[in-house]
Structure 1
Amino acid sequence: MYTAFASPSIQQIDEKIFTNKLLSIQETIEPSIKIAEMQLPSQTGKITISAMFSAQHGSWPFESFAINNLFRVIATYQANHPRMITIKGGTITLEQLNSHINNRQVIRPFQNGYLLSYPLLIEDDAALLLENTSLYLYGHSGTAIINKGLLSIQKTNVESWFDNKPAYVINNTVFRPFIINWGGSRLQIIDSKFAKLGYNAYLVQGITTAINNNQPTKLPIQVEIKNSDFTALSALNLKNAIVSIDNSTINTFQQYGVDLIDSQFNITNNKIQAIKNNSGIRAQGNIQGIIENNAILTVNKSAIEAQQISGNLVIRKNILAKDSRHGVLLTESNANVLIKDNLFTKLTGTAIESNQFSGSAYILDNTIQDIPEYAVSFRNLTKQENAKLVFYNNKITKVSKPILRTIGIGNVSLGHNKLLGSQLYQNLLIGDLLPIQGAILEATQKYDCIVEVNTFSSTKSNINFQACK
């Protein structure tokens, strides 16, 4: 168990050198995320209906069906061995699909679009184009879209349909249709709406990306989502992907709003709210990502969660608010994290909470207000001498517990933070900084200095803070 040192060392930092270094660091952390242009094959695709297999060579695209017992769901609708639609060698529209198959048990016109009742596979060299229509995925037939090529959805509504009947239940879990995108595939969603897709199980969480171990090459999946609305999914579960989500809404999800694993991502200008079980956005693994200009409200766990990440993460200009537990939660991570220009307000826990952090965190220019716990808390059970925290130029008011708690962070820099309101009557710093709280507050609040604290040093500090004026 880590025990705090009694007397960390403190030194003044030259402001010009400090701010120039911060600008350079921010440029280094900022990732560049680009989605390649998605072009539909010019030729018309070929359509076949063929058998689905769960345990033989080449059956890996149906992994989500095999591990979740979904062949049983298909069997309730199809009398013979489970079959699927396959698109190969070009582009197909829903109208072409319906016209070619001409079987109402497989696909038929329905309401303002089409009702699909068979699983559908898009091969590597094929594309399915949904444009200016609606696609209803029948919930009693094991319907799903399996994408190995390009799935382009534009100005289209996609949702499950159960014909007012109870959904099929597997192991106490309600089946709902889903979309799975395998390695090397491309998914494009523009000006569209999605509802009631996916459920809380592996590879079937609504819209999912994954690379299968049986794929010959480990190509990332490209995902472009723009100007679209998502309601009542389990999650957007995006693994091994290059992701852009812009100007969209994510509402009333079960698990996560956006769940990113080993991915590159740019999540901008979105509204995420009413996430029932977990966090609004979660990032895991080796990442390069920007989360910017989003409003994330009313989520059960944290607005943004980073779990066991390495790489670079920018969290900037977001509103993280209203009944979520934490604004940002960092767990067991070794990454460069920039948290800048965000508004944290009316949360039920701590604005920025971290456990076992061994990377570098830069908390700059944020507004933190109406918080019932800490503004910022970084706790390590074992000391991390290389861990770095910069807490600079933030505006903080109405925080019930101390402003900053640090335990086991080797290097902490502070300065130009504006501390307003009731917190002036309580401890502002606790943990490793408590023994030198007086010196830090004198330097940073009275004399407006920027200071650096080496937590694990016993070197005596000898600074004339009046020189900072």
Structure 2
Amino acid sequence: MQSNGLALPLLLSALCLTAPLALADQPAQAEQQPQLDYRVRSAPADELHMEAPKLPDLSGYTKEAVLAKIPHSAKGKVVVRRMLRQDALKDFTGGNERLREWIKRQQGMPQAIFIEGGLVTPQDIADALPDSQFAEQAPGVYLARLPIVVAQNATLHVGKETNELRLSQERGSFLVNDGLMFITDTRVTAWREADNGPATFRDPKEFRPFLVSWGGSELYIASSVITSLGYSNSKSYGVSITQYTPNQHKILQRPEPTGWLIDSEFVDHWYGFYCYEAQNIVIKGNTYRDNIVYGIDPHDRSHGLIIADNTVFGTKKKHGIIISREVNDSWIINNKSYDNKLSGIVIDRDSVRNVIAYNKTYENYSDGITLYESGDNLLWGNQVLSNKRHGIRIRNSENIRLYENLSALNQLTGVYGHIKDLSGTGRNLQLDPYDAKISMIIVGGTLAGNGSSPINIDSPLSVELYRVKMLAPSKSTGIQLAGILGEKQDEILDLLLRKRQPVLIDPIDPEQMTN
């Protein structure tokens, strides 16, 4: 296990000296549900035993391995063509409004730079085109004044010979990958020519250059700095790996895109990272700082992802790391996520069979780790500290396993579980079906110094507790469980703390109650 947080003995020493935390607000009231009677009983300990998850081997995801993937067999060519009727650009030129954006910026019929047939570098592009389209402004510093499209069966490598690739905001430049793209040991910057500097965020609707990698493509970014990409427009969010827009390009359906983003820095993007219907993406060892909406945001039907060893902080509008809508069978491990506007890590909308392990989420302005409508997930060995609301929050999610987590000094609850009827929230229930049910297992770990309660759970199908340490209560009355557990607190603590037995809390069948 890789340590990335406070040692428990030091934390507990600090807790003993900490005054009770002021509560910003109280946990949301649970939805009105039929009143159930619950029972408390001992559970078999062997059924709760679980070995630590075996983590994926990350040793092969290196810059050297990325460089070894670059094909050198054929030299590519650079051509300029109209943007119209180009499959890789249809998402950005469809309809008069979108086309008008490029006409305005290029002052004529929009064109793009196409890389075809083999390997091309920025120097090759500069050699082939006039400065009005692609200029070398200083040795190894290039300014693209047109969009750049890497065609199928072609490769673009922006490597260490390039000090910086700048994408002109005024002229409407952006990067589209339909083949292979490699960005290594360099910088890629959205560039505001009027300021002679990065196109820093000003307005959600203001065009900023972006990078999108389509279905069937591969994108590799290693040891690089990517700055100020993206705005609030579909597929234009920042750095995106995505299938083509559904139902628009049926003849273009290609394999799920993939890629590695490793040991790099992503700064001031609309979304630091976004993917859609992608597979086996590796996001490892990066820093995501001061991005606007999200730091890392894998989305619909992506799977087999590894999100590991990243540091995510300063996200201005929402969460540090979020996976949403059937992002399944993935790993979120050894990340630090802090000082984000909402939660540190979010598992959302029917994202299942994921392992969230050994992360440290702290000083976020909402929860440390949030699970919404996403069952069958494992949280193991996370440190969730000093968040402004709950440490770990679970809503409408069944079979959540929490093993060996530390949730401490959060302003509300250490672990908060509840159900909620979302039918009046504007949520599309056809896209996002869910059951207002919750169940969880909490084994090992420590809940310490949380502001309102160590655990608050309402209306569960079942809760199992075993070997959970509850320390340094903020209230002078001592440990105070809440929700259903509060109603059965004496029985629970007798089994859990005095007899050191596993505890099962579940509803009594109404038919049994009448017999």
The two structures have a TM-score, normalised by structure 2, of 0.81
Instruction: Give the 3 Å change call, closer, same or farther, for CA 190–199 of structure 1 in structure 2.
Output: same
* Residue pair 1:270, 1:294 contacting (<8 A) in 2 also: yes
Instruction: Give the 3 Å change call, closer, same or farther, for CA 77–436 of structure 1 in structure 2.
Output: closer
Q: Across the two proteins, how many residue pairs are aligned to each other?
A: 450
Cα distance in 2 between the residues matched to 1:62 and 1:109:
29
Question: What is the CA distance between 1:128 and its match in structure 2?
Answer: 0.4
Q: What letter corresponds to residue 330 of structure 1 in structure 2?
A: L
Determine if the alignment matches structure 1 residue 75 to structure 2 residue 103. yes
Instruction: Give the 3 Å change call, closer, same or farther, for CA 454–144 of structure 1 in structure 2.
Output: same
Determine if the alignment matches structure 1 residue 241 to structure 2 residue 266. no
Which one of the candidate residues 325, 337, 344 is aligned to 2:384?
A: 344
Question: What is the CA distance between 1:278 and its match in structure 2?
Answer: 0.6
Q: What letter corresponds to residue 399 of structure 1 in structure 2?
A: N
Instruction: Give the 3 Å change call, closer, same or farther, for CA 68–381 of structure 1 in structure 2.
Output: farther
Equivalent position of 2:48 in the other structure: 18
Equivalent position of 1:318 in the other structure: 359
Instruction: Give the 3 Å change call, closer, same or farther, for CA 122–82 of structure 1 in structure 2.
Output: same
Question: What is the CA distance between 1:310 and its match in structure 2?
Answer: 3.2
Tell me the percent identity. Answer: 20
Deviations 1:131-180 (A, max 9, x none): 01110101101100111111111101000111234979999722110011
Equivalent position of 1:416 in the other structure: 467
Determine if the alignment matches structure 1 residue 252 to structure 2 residue 252. no
Equivalent position of 1:227 in the other structure: 263
Cα distance in 2 between the residues matched to 1:389 and 1:364:
11
* Residue pair 2:36, 2:507 contacting (<8 A) in 1 also: no
Equivalent position of 2:75 in the other structure: 44
What secondary structure is seen at the aligned counterpart in 1 of 2:290? strand
Equivalent position of 1:110 in the other structure: 137
Determine if the alignment matches structure 1 residue 388 to structure 2 residue 426. no
Cα distance in 1 between the residues matched to 2:451 and 2:203:
44
Determine if the alignment matches structure 1 residue 277 to structure 2 residue 317. yes
1:113-152 maps to which residues of 2 (within 5 A)?
A: 113-132=141-160, 133=162, 134-152=164-182
**Residue ranges of structure 2 left out of the alignment (5+ in a row):** 1-30, 422-433
C-alpha RMSD of the superposition: 2.9
The two structures have a TM-score, normalised by structure 1, of 0.88
Give the number of the structure whose residues are more often strand, by fraction: 1
What secondary structure is seen at the aligned counterpart in 1 of 2:350? strand
**Comparing 85-94 and 74-83, the one that deviates more:** 74-83
Equivalent position of 1:367 in the other structure: 406
* Residue pair 1:266, 1:291 contacting (<8 A) in 2 also: yes
Cα distance in 2 between the residues matched to 1:414 and 1:447:
13
Instruction: Give the 3 Å change call, closer, same or farther, for CA 372–168 of structure 1 in structure 2.
Output: closer
* Residue pair 2:473, 2:479 contacting (<8 A) in 1 also: no
Cα distance in 2 between the residues matched to 1:68 and 1:62:
12
* Residue pair 1:313, 1:337 contacting (<8 A) in 2 also: yes
Deviations 1:193-245 (A, max 9, x none): 11111112221111112212315334211120111011111111111123101
Which one of the candidate residues 211, 217, 220 is aligned to 2:243?
A: 211
**Comparing 220-229 and 106-115, the one that deviates more:** 106-115
Equivalent position of 1:467 in the other structure: none
What secondary structure is seen at the aligned counterpart in 1 of 2:419? strand
Equivalent position of 1:465 in the other structure: none
Q: What letter corresponds to residue 81 of structure 2 in structure 1?
A: S
Question: What is the CA distance between 1:442 and its match in structure 2?
Answer: 0.7
Question: What is the CA distance between 1:248 and its match in structure 2?
Answer: 0.9
Question: What is the CA distance between 1:392 and its match in structure 2?
Answer: 1.3
Equivalent position of 2:9 in the other structure: none
Q: What letter corresponds to residue 374 of structure 1 in structure 2?
A: T
Instruction: Give the 3 Å change call, closer, same or farther, for CA 395–168 of structure 1 in structure 2.
Output: closer
Deviations 1:325-355 (A, max 9, x none): 111111122x311111111111100011122
Cα distance in 1 between the residues matched to 2:401 and 2:274:
28
* Residue pair 2:88, 2:176 contacting (<8 A) in 1 also: no
What secondary structure is seen at the aligned counterpart in 1 of 2:294? coil
Q: What letter corresponds to residue 354 of structure 2 in structure 1?
A: L
* Residue pair 2:88, 2:178 contacting (<8 A) in 1 also: no
Equivalent position of 2:341 in the other structure: 300
What secondary structure is seen at the aligned counterpart in 2 of 1:151? strand
Instruction: Give the 3 Å change call, closer, same or farther, for CA 447–87 of structure 1 in structure 2.
Output: same
Instruction: Give the 3 Å change call, closer, same or farther, for CA 210–412 of structure 1 in structure 2.
Output: same
Instruction: Give the 3 Å change call, closer, same or farther, for CA 159–60 of structure 1 in structure 2.
Output: closer
Q: What letter corresponds to residue 248 of structure 1 in structure 2?
A: N
Question: What is the CA distance between 1:404 and its match in structure 2?
Answer: 1.4
**Residue ranges of structure 1 left out of the alignment (5+ in a row):** 462-469
